[in-house]
Amino acid sequence: MIRRLMKWVVLGAAFVLFAGASAYFTVLFVIKGEDRVVVPDLIGKDVVQILETLSRLGLNTKVKEPEHSDQIPANHVLSQYPSPGTEIKKGRDVRIVLSKGPRMLLAPNLKGLPLRQARIILEQNGLCIGNISKVYHSNALNEAILAQSPDQGVELTQSRCMDLLVSLGPRLRTLKMPDLMGLSFSEAVLAVQRINLVLGPNQVAEEQNQPEGAVLGQDPPAGHPVFEGSVVKLIRNHKKDGANSDSKFAPKGIALFKHRIKNGFLKTRIQLKFYGYGLSGELIDSYMDPGEEVMLLIPEDAEAFVSVYEDDALVVSKEFKP
């Protein structure tokens, strides 16, 4: 009987000891579990919302220097540390970076600028060209910007595109081709340029009964209807033989043609066209800085003609004679 009683006493004591140990470890586990939390995903959330969330979890919020973002709105979380899902103790810091929203720029003033220059300005400012509409305009050069949207000074986000209205220049007029036959080459060039025609490659032929350099042929012919900007081809007289042929083509030195670009703040499109030696063409077509000089060395052994255009407007025409 006593042995049986002792057995029950031992079993009871063991049970009490086991129950006490289990309770102790359970409480310890619960206490330790309550000291640690899982960091939530804060990316893209409003700053007020995440402050409440972290405070409720017993975590501190540390806000770092905000940064621009095209994807995350202003005052929303752009990045965080520790990353979402990390388990940390209560009372620890969670560092966040807030978005300042997209970087804002002021729309530049492009009106009056050439399309090429406007494109460069937009690219330098992180903007782009959107839709381009073109219309004829009697008082604007070809490819000059007439209007823009958004207008100058409007705030834009980076990478925003601007729509442009671009001039096609004055509407082309139908002209009557002048009679250039018998004129000197320089007179013919001036006559062609005066009515906004373009002199193309010219050819030479020999006619002893006509003066040196006289126009012997033209295309289109006199009286033919042509549009402004049409190309005119000339045939000019060039005597290969004769008493003066040796002296005419003997080198006599070099002539210097020089032109200084007008002062200002913007680059100017410079076109230098040369006609001579049976050749015609554009030697220079580029944007140059204000105050720059264009120089050309011309042999003084034959007739030549030089024209300079600034932003498509003829500013200088000079004839060189042997």
Q: What is the CATH number of the domain that holds 90?
A: 3.30.10.20
Based on the fold, state whether residues 181 and 238 are members of the same structural domain: yes
Taking the C-alpha atoms of residue 64 and residue 214, their distance in angstroms, rounded to an integer, is 81
Q: Please give the single-letter amino acid code of residue 126.
A: G
Q: Rounded mean pLDDT of the chain?
A: 81
Based on the fold, state whether residues 113 and 159 are members of the same structural domain: yes
Is residue 91 assigned to a domain? yes
pLDDT value at position 14? 60
pLDDT value at position 30? 45
Based on the fold, state whether residues 176 and 244 are members of the same structural domain: yes
Instruction: Enter the pTM of the model.
Output: 0.41
Final residue of a domain: which of 86, 102, 118?
A: 102
pLDDT value at position 13? 59
Based on the fold, state whether residues 63 and 97 are members of the same structural domain: yes
pLDDT value at position 280? 66
Is residue 195 assigned to a domain? yes
Based on the fold, state whether residues 239 and 265 are members of the same structural domain: no
Final residue of a domain: which of 201, 233, 248?
A: 248
Is residue 11 assigned to a domain? no
Is residue 92 assigned to a domain? yes
Residue 135's pLDDT band, with cuts at 50, 70 and 90, is very high
Based on the fold, state whether residues 163 and 226 are members of the same structural domain: no
Based on the fold, state whether residues 281 and 321 are members of the same structural domain: yes
The percentage of the chain sitting over the pLDDT mark of 70, rounded to a whole number, equals 81
pLDDT tens digits, 221-260 = 999 999 887 888 888 887 765 444 333 333 346 677 888 8
Final residue of a domain: which of 248, 270, 295?
A: 248
Q: What is the CATH number of the domain that holds 278?
A: 2.60.40.2560
Is residue 4 assigned to a domain? no
Number of domains in the chain: 4
Nearest to 79 by CA among 91, 93, 89, 65: 65
Q: Which domain holds residue 89?
A: 36-102
Which region among 99-113, 245-259, 290-304 has the lowest average model confidence (pLDDT)?
Answer: 245-259
DSSP string, 56-96: HTT-EEEEEEEE--SSSPTTBEEEEESPTT-EEETT-EEEE
* More confident position, 185 or 82: 82
Based on the fold, state whether residues 159 and 183 are members of the same structural domain: no
Which region among 5-19, 144-158, 223-237, 263-277 has the lowest average model confidence (pLDDT)?
Answer: 5-19
Which region among 76-90, 141-155, 269-283 has the lowest average model confidence (pLDDT)?
Answer: 269-283
Average pLDDT over residues 84-95: 91
Geometric angle at alpha carbon 187, from 183 and 190, rounded to 5°: 140
Decide: helix, strand or coil at residue 44. Answer: coil
Is residue 51 assigned to a domain? yes
Taking the C-alpha atoms of residue 95 and residue 89, their distance in angstroms, rounded to an integer, is 15
Average pLDDT over residues 146-158: 89
**In the structure encoding, which two tokens stand for residue 52, read together?**
């409440």
Is residue 81 assigned to a domain? yes
The 3-state secondary structure of 251-303, one letter per residue: CCCEEEEEEECCCCCCCEEEEEEEEECCEEEEEEEEEECCCCEEEEEEECCCC
pLDDT value at position 248? 39
